[in-house]
Structures are given as C-alpha cells and as structure tokens.
Amino acid sequence: MKKVSNFIGVAAGTASVGTMPAVRDRKMSKVAVVYWSGTGNTQACAEAVVDGAKAAGAEVECFSVSEFDVSSTGNYDSVALGCPAMGDEVLEESEFQPAYDEMKPLLQGKKVALFGSYGWGVGDWMNSWKDDAIAAGLTLCTDPVICNEAPDDESVENLKKLGVALA
Ligand SMILES: Cc1cc2nc3c(=O)[nH]c(=O)nc-3n(C[C@H](O)[C@H](O)[C@H](O)COP(=O)(O)O)c2cc1C
C-alpha cells in the first residue's frame, strides 16, 4: 500500500490573510509644524521636528505662524507649536500668542507638541505654556523640548524625537 506521510491538513498562510490590509492601508498622518522665530533659533528647531516626523512616515507641512491659516488646523492629525521665550518669560505676543489662542478650540483631540528656544532664563516660559495647554484641554503627545539659543546636536535629536511622536 502506498504510504501518504507528513500531510498537514491546513492551507498554509490563510490564517494571517485577514490581518494584512490593516497594515497595508495604514493612513499617513498629516502633521503641521507652526512656529514663530525672530532670529532663526526656533526655526532651526522646527526644521529638526519636520525631519523627525518625515522620517517616521508622516506627511509634514511647516509654516511660520504669520503664513499659517489657523482655520486649516482641522486638516491635520497632529500639530507641533514652536515659540521662543519672549518678553518676560512669555510667548511672542503680537503674532504667536493670538494665533495660538485662536487654535486652541481647533486643536482639541489632536496630538500636540510644544518646542522653542530661550536665552538667559531656565525655561519658565515653557512651563507656563505647558500648563496653559493642559488647562485648555490639549493633548500633549510628548514632553516639550526646549533649547538654549540655537539647537545643539543633543537638542536636534530631542526635537527629531518630538517629530516622531507626532507622526
Ligand atoms: C524681546 C526679547 C525677549 C526675550 N525674553 C526672554 C526671556 O524672558 N527668557 C529667556 O530665556 N530668553 C529671552 N529672550 C531670548 C530668546 O528667547 C532667545 O534668544 C531665543 O533663542 C530666540 O529665538 P528665535 O531665534 O527663534 O527668535 C528674549 C529675546 C528677545 C529678543
């Protein structure tokens, strides 16, 4: 009699087919990076955030706050906001603060991250900003990143990680 051996009665591979589309169809997240910068340090921070988010697969758009249309906030899944310490440990008051205040209701339920540069202080402006964002009901997806003047290599790495967290 002919021996039929080692037959396994399961069609190999069929069990995992149902899970594949979820991976294949994963939507690219849309990230906006919106910043104010007087002398370029926070702009350099913004560029590192963009690099991190892009490396993590997000579709990223970067705007100085004066060119950002606040009413488009709803088009993004995540928003990074960047502003240096100005005045006496406050946000820049003529352009950034008003835009941020207007964005608050539109940022509800989105992933938000804060970053910025400072000079002689210790980061009090960012502590106040973080408290304000939380009180406004915003969802911070990672700790804020601050850097002294222009971002050094370590700050660039931290800013890229912030970008990854938004993606
Ligand atoms: C008008 C003005 C106010 C500032 N106030 C503060 C401050 O309160 N605390 C601080 O640490 N740095 C302060 N700075 C320093 C800036 O935050 C710092 O130079 C920062 O790197 C500027 O970022 P930017 O190049 O993106 O404009 C101030 C700078 C200016 C011009």
Predicted confidence (pLDDT) per residue in 29-84, tens digit = 999 999 999 999 999 999 999 999 999 999 999 999 999 999 999 999 999 999 99
Cα–Cα distance measured from residue 117 to residue 23, given in angstroms and rounded to the nearest whole number: 38
Does residue 123 lie in a domain region? yes
**Per-residue pLDDT tens digits for 102-123:** 999 999 999 999 999 999 999 9
Mutational pocket test of ligand 1: of 49, 92, 118, 120, the residue with most ligand atoms within 8 Å of the beta carbon: 118
Cβ of 155 below 6 Å from ligand 1: no
Does residue 15 lie in a domain region? no
Model pLDDT, residue 27:
77
* Residue that wins the pLDDT comparison between 11 and 69: 69
Please check the confidence at residue 23 and state whether its pLDDT lies above 80.
Answer: no
The token duo for 136 is 């406004």
**Per-residue pLDDT tens digits for 139-161:** 999 999 999 999 999 999 999 99
Continuous H helices in 82-123: 96-103
Global pTM? 0.87
Q: Domain residues for 105?
A: 31-166
Cα–Cα distance measured from residue 65 to residue 22, given in angstroms and rounded to the nearest whole number: 36
Cα–Cα distance measured from residue 104 to residue 146, given in angstroms and rounded to the nearest whole number: 21
Cα–Cα distance measured from residue 167 to residue 141, given in angstroms and rounded to the nearest whole number: 10
Does residue 48 lie in a domain region? yes
Compute the half-sphere exposure of residue 35: CA atoms within 13 Å on the CB side of its CA: 27
Number of domains in the chain: 1
